[in-house]
Structures are given as structure tokens and as C-alpha cells.
């Protein structure tokens, strides 16, 4: 009796961009980029038993060195490579400090319907507890079976790009997410608007930073507001001035859970911000509201269309 043919291994595109997963400790200097994709793959031989890996080096960026323009470069590369190859999807290594922002931008702008999974590590490659191999293995397994969309895989858990946040500085289980609250949004763009400032509200804050942002060329502003979307009174007038001058102002919250809304009517409360023309981000945190505003402005959306996109 002849045995059936073994199932063919899935073909996975793996793009290495840097991050802690690629770093080693340099005495006296701390953790620094050290390894490229080939070296990392050689450290995880198990991957060859799971999929046919095509390795590509994009960069060796620490998480804080990413820019929205570079994120868009990555999106274009992913779309191009997935379109020309017989891949089930792509795994991207990334620094954990900004992985949630890149994941969300990719989720918004990628044209491919193949799944994309981002992963990284909390420990360097020379640490005895290096979590890179386990995360890469989980990412390859996930991308081989995942539906369309962009995900972050860390510590054995899969997080949707829109909902994932880094909630701890150095825990292996630093990443958390909620269940998706909205269907995936996709926005076609040729460019991104990088000049969007994020300004945090705090007790006693005034409008100086809002006015400075406008004066120095900000095309949009995101306020990381208090509670459900409230700011100190002296920030309100500066927000109104920005909107009147044509600069969209989006209000997010510094709270990890819940939504922003026009609830409070006191000076600086959500009702007065809404009356001033501010837009509420809903449940999007400030960092992702900034990414979305950059994408919308890059797509040429006017203030009314931007409002509709956030309030949909």
C-alpha cells in the first residue's frame, strides 16, 4: 500500500527589520543591533521543519528609530514581495517599543490579503532567556493558518494590530489586546503625512505646546487627553485656535481602556472640545490615533472626511 504524499510545507516570507531580537550586549554600551536575518535563522533551526523560509533584511532598526515614512517603505516592500512570490504570508521582526504602531499602519495601508505577523523579543540574543526563537516559531505557525490581516505574536499570544498595546516595559507578556471592536479599515495612500504632533494633557497644562505645534508646521495634532476626553481649561482655547486655522485636532485618552466621548460640559470637558471642532478617537490610543491621522492626511482627506473616519 502506497503512503499518501506528505503535505507540502507553506512558503513564508520573513523580513528582518531589527529590534531587540537582533541585539547583543556590548560591555559598557548596552544592547545594540548585531545580527542579520541569516544569523537569527541559524539560531532557530526548528523553523526549517515548519515552513520554507525566504529571508530578507530590511534594516537593523531599534524600535525608537522607526519613522512613519519608514513604516510606509516596509508596507510597500511587503505588498511587492507577497504579490510576486507564492507565499502564504509574511513574518516581520520588529522592535517592541513601536511594534504596535507599525502593525497598525500596515493594517491600514497594505493592499495584500495575505496575513502579516509581526514579532520580536524582550530579551537580547545573548541572554539565557532569549525569547526570540519561541516568538519566531509561534509567528511562523500563526501566519501559516491566520486569516487576512495584520497581527502581533508575542509570548504565545496573537494580538490584532488595531487592538494590541505594549503594557509593560520588560515582561515577556508585555503585550495585551482586547477583542476587535470594529472591522478592519483599509486606506489607499501614496504618501504619509509625517507632521502630526502628539501632545499629552496633564494637571495644570496650558496651550503652549498646541500653539507651538501649529506655529512650527504641524498638519495635525493628537491630544492624549484625560479620562473620557477632557483637558485642562487653558488647553481648550489653543485646541479651538488650531481647528479654526485648519489643523485637525484628534482627542484620545491616556487611559488604556474605554472610549473618548463628549460627556462633560465644563470648560475643557469633552462637550466643549467637541464644540471647538475636535474629533474623538473612540477607543484608539493616542499613538495609533496619530498613525491614523497621518494616513488620512496623506490620503488627502479633508477635515469632514477625517471626522467621519474616526467616528465611523
Same domain, 38 and 120: yes
User: Catalytic amino acids?
Assistant: 20
Same domain, 260 and 160: no
* Contact between 53 and 12 (Cβ < 8 Å): yes
* Contact between 109 and 189 (Cβ < 8 Å): yes
**Three-class SS string for the chain?**
CCCCCCCCCCEEEEEEEECHHHEEEECCCEEEECCCHHHHHHCCHHHHHCCEEEEEEEEEECHHHCCHHHHHHHHHHHHHHHHHCCCCEEEEECCCCCHHHHHHHHHHHCCCCCCEEEECCCCCCCCCCCCHHHHHHHHHHHHHHCCCCEEEEECCEEEECCCCEECCCCCCCCEECCCCCCCCCCCCCCCCCCCEEEEECCCCCCCHHHHHHHHCCCCEEEEEEECCCECCHHHHHHHHHHHHCCCCEEEEECCCCCCCCCCCCCCCCHHHHHHCCCEECCCCCHHHHHHHHHHHHHCCCCHHHHHHHHHC
**Domain coverage including residue 60:** 11-176
Whether pTM > 0.75 for this model: the answer is yes
Reported confidence tier of residue 312, pLDDT bands at 50, 70, 90: confident
Give, in degrees to the nearest 5, the angle at Cα 83 between 80 and 86.
130
Q: What pLDDT is stored for residue 85 in this prediction?
A: 87
* Average pLDDT for the chain: 96
Q: What pLDDT is stored for residue 44 in this prediction?
A: 96
Same domain, 142 and 25: yes
Among 176, 211, 238, the domain-final residue is 176
Same domain, 169 and 232: no
Span 169-178, pLDDT tens digits? 999 999 999 9
Q: Which residue has the cell 526549517?
A: 48
Span 10-31, pLDDT tens digits? 999 999 999 999 999 999 999 9
Q: What pLDDT is stored for residue 199 in this prediction?
A: 98
* Contact between 210 and 242 (Cβ < 8 Å): yes
Average of per-residue pLDDT across 276-298:
98
Q: What is the dihedral of CA 131, 136, 141, 146, to 10 degrees?
A: 110
Does position 240 have pLDDT exceeding 60, yes or no?
yes
Among 131, 148, 176, the domain-final residue is 176
Same domain, 148 and 225: no
Same domain, 244 and 125: no
Average of per-residue pLDDT across 267-292:
98
User: Does residue 158 lie within any of the structural domains?
Assistant: yes
Average of per-residue pLDDT across 273-282:
98
Same domain, 53 and 144: yes
Average of per-residue pLDDT across 141-160:
97
Same domain, 162 and 216: no
User: Does residue 92 lie within any of the structural domains?
Assistant: yes
Give, in degrees to the nearest 5, the angle at Cα 171 between 170 and 174.
95
Same domain, 154 and 33: yes
Q: Which backbone phi and psi does 171 adopt, to 5 degrees?
A: -70, 145
* Contact between 78 and 90 (Cβ < 8 Å): yes
Q: What pLDDT is stored for residue 3 in this prediction?
A: 44
Among 127, 142, 176, the domain-final residue is 176
User: Does residue 61 lie within any of the structural domains?
Assistant: yes
Reported confidence tier of residue 181, pLDDT bands at 50, 70, 90: confident
Average of per-residue pLDDT across 47-66:
97
Same domain, 171 and 202: no
Number of domains in the chain: 2
Q: How many CB atoms lie under 10 A from the CB of residue 304? A: 8
Q: Which residue has the cell 531599534?
A: 62
Percent of the chain with pLDDT over 90: 96
Q: What pLDDT is stored for residue 7 in this prediction?
A: 64
Same domain, 18 and 153: yes
* Contact between 200 and 252 (Cβ < 8 Å): no
**CATH code of 103's domain:** 3.40.50.1170
Does position 222 have pLDDT exceeding 90, yes or no?
yes
Same domain, 169 and 205: no
Amino acid at each position: 500500500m502506497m503512503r499518501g504524499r506528505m503535505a507540502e510545507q507553506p512558503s513564508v516570507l520573513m523580513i528582518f527589520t531589527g529590534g531587540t531580537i537582533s541585539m547583543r550586549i556590548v560591555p559598557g554600551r548596552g544592547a545594540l543591533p548585531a545580527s542579520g536575518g541569516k544569523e537569527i535563522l541559524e539560531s532557530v533551526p526548528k523553523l526549517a521543519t515548519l515552513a520554507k523560509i525566504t529571508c530578507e533584511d530590511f534594516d537593523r532598526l531599534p524600535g525608537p528609530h522607526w519613522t512613519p515614512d519608514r513604516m510606509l517603505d516596509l508596507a510597500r516592500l511587503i505588498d511587492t514581495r507577497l504579490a510576486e512570490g507564492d507565499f502564504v504570508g509574511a513574518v516581520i521582526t520588529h522592535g517592541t517599543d513601536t511594534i504596535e504602531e507599525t502593525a497598525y499602519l500596515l493594517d491600514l495601508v497594505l493592499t495584500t490579503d495575505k496575513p502579516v505577523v509581526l514579532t520580536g523579543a524582550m530579551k537580547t540574543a545573548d541572554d539565557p532567556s532569549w525569547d526570540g526563537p519561541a516568538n519566531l516559531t509561534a509567528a511562523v505557525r500563526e501566519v501559516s493558518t491566520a486569516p487576512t490581516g495584520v497581527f502581533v505574536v508575542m509570548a504565545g499570544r496573537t494580538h490584532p494590530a488595531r487592538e494590541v498595546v505594549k503594557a509593560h516595559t520588560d515582561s515577556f507578556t508585555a503585550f495585551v489586546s482586547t477583542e476587535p471592536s470594529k472591522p478592519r479599515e483599509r486606506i489607499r495612500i501614496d504618501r504619509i503625512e509625517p507632521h502630526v504632533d502628539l501632545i499629552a494633557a496633564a494637571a495644570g497644562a496650558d496651550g503652549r505646546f498646541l500653539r507651538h505645534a501649529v506655529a512650527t508646521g504641524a498638519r495635525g495634532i493628537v491630544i492624549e487627553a484625560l479620562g473620557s476626553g477632557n483637558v485642562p481649561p487653558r488647553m481648550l482655547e489653543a485646541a479651538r485656535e488650531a481647528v479654526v486655522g485648519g489643523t485637525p485636532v484628534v482627542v484620545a485618552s491616556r487611559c488604556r481602556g474605554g472610549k473618548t466621548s463628549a460627556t462633560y460640559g465644563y470648560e475643557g470637558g469633552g462637550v466643549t472640545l467637541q464644540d471647538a471642532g475636535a474629533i474623538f478617537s473612540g477607543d484608539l490610543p493616542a499613538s495609533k490615533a496619530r498613525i491614523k491621522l497621518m494616513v488620512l492626511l496623506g490620503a488627502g482627506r479633508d477635515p469632514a472626511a477625517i471626522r467621519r473616519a474616526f467616528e465611523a
